Amino acid sequence: MKPPLYFVPLLFVFLSASGCTGSGILENLITGEDIITSVQMKQHISFLASDSMMGRDTPSSQLDSAAAHIAAVFKSSGLQPVNGSYFDKVGMGIIKLGDDNHLKILKSQSEKSYQIKSEFTPFDLTGDGEVTAPVIFAGYGITAPDYNYDDYKGIDVEGKIVRIIEKGVIVELPLGVDGFVPLSQLSQTPVKNVADSFKVGDAISLKVIEFDKESKKIVLSAIEFLSGKEQKVVDDYVSSHRLTPMTMKDVFSAPPAEGDAPQN
């Protein structure tokens, strides 16, 4: 397949006037502001974003039409081509669907398969391969502190302890991401020595209570995960980590997470 053509759709161009020399250059200079109008811009945008362009998929005849339109505008505006062309050819690889493309989800020892193209569609510009990994639903993946909205906060995950420190434990989450569990979020009862109750390699069920995309800071809580669970679940957690017994009342009165997470 012939590689599609990619281009940068810049309609604002720099124009130079011929014969502009000496002290009269400023008087004879034609600027973009002189010839680019809102009416003209609306015409270009209306064409490029019209329904007939069908989203200008890559590759597609509509994308080629958009490229031809922009090239014509460049030429009529006096913009000189580069190496004799207004286009820069860029090769693109597209993965075709194979005979065994499938999506299966295992939950509670049951398996559900999804029908390709009707229930799921692989993205054709991604890599070609197979992956088996835990799935965590994170809504739309939006974190918007100004609107008090966070898709990541409250997600239940399982982490493996990879490091024990004085103020809590560092856990490794799916895909190799690290998170911090403060001591106050590991137990509601006193823990004299973290290393006595929690060992490297222990798997802990946790709930995300703080997530910062920019700093990649993730704070988690075992107490928040246990909140609302049956007393037996709490008892099993206490027993497996050799903690002082906790009641459901202790769990529901969990304090806020400590703000002094370890620094990298």
Q: So where are the chain's domains? A: 5-89, 143-252
Angle at 136 between CA 132 and CA 141, to 5 degrees: 120
Per-residue b or e along 151-163, where b marks 16 or more CB atoms closer than 10 Å to that residue's CB: bbeebebebebee
- Distance of alpha carbon 136 from alpha carbon 174, whole angstroms: 9
Helix locations, the chain, DSSP H: 25-28, 32-35, 38-48, 61-76, 194-197, 222-226, 231-240, 248-252
pLDDT tens string, the chain, 264 residues long: the values are: 344 444 444 443 433 334 444 455 556 666 767 778 888 889 999 999 999 999 998 888 999 999 999 999 999 888 899 999 999 888 777 777 777 788 888 877 788 888 888 888 777 666 667 767 666 555 555 667 776 767 666 666 777 777 888 788 888 886 667 889 998 888 877 777 788 888 888 888 888 888 877 777 889 899 888 888 888 888 888 888 888 776 655 555 544 444 444 544
CA 51 to the chain's CA centroid: 29
- Distance of alpha carbon 179 from alpha carbon 161, whole angstroms: 9
Instruction: Kindly report the pTM of this predicted structure.
Output: 0.42
By C-alpha distance, which of 190, 192, 220 is closest to 206? 220
| CATH superfamily name and code, 143-252 | Nucleic acid-binding proteins (2.40.50.140)
